[in-house]
Structure formats: structure tokens, C-alpha cells
Amino acid sequence: MDSIDYKILNILQKNSRQKASAISPEVNLSVSAVIERIRKMEREGILQKYTIKVDHKRLGYDLTAFVGVTLELPIYYDNFIQVTREMSSVLFCNYVTGEFDFILKVMATATEELEKIHHEIMKIKGVLSIKTFFVLSNCKDDVQIPEDSFLNFDH
């Protein structure tokens, strides 16, 4: 990847529906060259998916919580990961260092639903304990690579 690829990536991170014809003048390349660079990033697995950002509260998901999970033994890790991947209420499952083995991000429409999610997690074989942190407000929700990472980069 070179600095032009990073510029294209930055533009697509802001709006993945941006057309190559709009990107072209910003990176001083032809439309076909931009398309080829995007396809190359897709082939190389750099661009993995084009998606949307949804306002979960407007869809009725008023509760967001992070759940720290501690497992009894490492032999339960694979099963835990498999089960949480199948739980639609779990948005993220990260294996972490520190006090917990995993941190989950879950969404619920009400406290009753969150309680059900809690019970589901506790029923997973090997779960020793969980600790829940309720999100009071969302101060930053950015999934983009920081723009300054792209500056002066040329390989």
C-alpha cells in the first residue's frame, strides 16, 4: 500500500458508498485506476466488508452494556467464542488480558431483555463469573483508522 491507497481507504471509511468517480479527483487518478486499487485492497483482505452505521436507540435498543466474562479454564474458550458468535444480542466479543477473559458488548431493548442475556451468558459452559458495565452515554463511537495514520505513509 502507498499513500494513495491510504487516501482512498480514508475516503471509503467516511462513506463506503463513495463512487470511484468522486474519489478520482481527490487522489489525482483516473476512475479506472481508483477502481483497480479498491479491487486490489479487496483481494488482499484490507477491505473486507462495506456496511452501514445504525442508530440503535432509534430501533428501540435503549440499553448498551459491556460484560466482562471470566472462564473457569482455558479449555472453555473455543466453546465460549462459538456460542457468543451465535448470540445476536452480542455485538462484539473480544478476548482480552487483565481481570476478565472476554469483554462483550451487548444491546437490549429493556432491562428484562438484558437480564435474559445475562442468564444466557451465565449458562455457557465454563463461565465462572460476569460483571456488567452499563453505558450511560456514548461519547465516541468511531470504527475508522485514525486519519493521521495515513499521513506521510509510503511503502
Tell me which of 1.10.10.10, 1.20.120.530, 3.50.50.60, 3.40.50.720 is the CATH number of domain 3-51: 1.10.10.10
Residue 10 cell numbers, joined: 480514508
Condensed to tens digits (0 to 9), the pLDDT of residues 54-74 reads 888 888 899 999 999 999 999
What is the per-residue pLDDT for 14? Answer: 85
pLDDT score, position 148: 62
**Can you give the residue ranges of every domain in the chain?**
3-51, 56-134
CA distance 91 to 85: 9
Per-residue pLDDT for the chain (155 aa), expressed as one digit of tens each?
A: 888 998 999 899 888 899 999 999 999 999 999 999 999 999 999 999 888 888 888 888 999 999 999 999 999 999 999 999 999 999 999 999 999 999 999 999 999 999 999 999 999 999 999 999 999 998 887 767 766 665 555 44
Q: Identify the residue whose cell numbers are 466488508.
A: 49
46 alpha carbon, distance to own chain's centre: 15
104-116: buried (b, 16+ CB within 10 Å) or exposed (e) per residue? bebbbeeeebbee
**pLDDT at residue 98, rounded to an integer:** 95
pLDDT of residue 146: 67
Whether the CB-CB separation of 70 and 100 falls below 8 Å is answered with yes
- Domain 56-134 carries which CATH code? 3.30.70.920
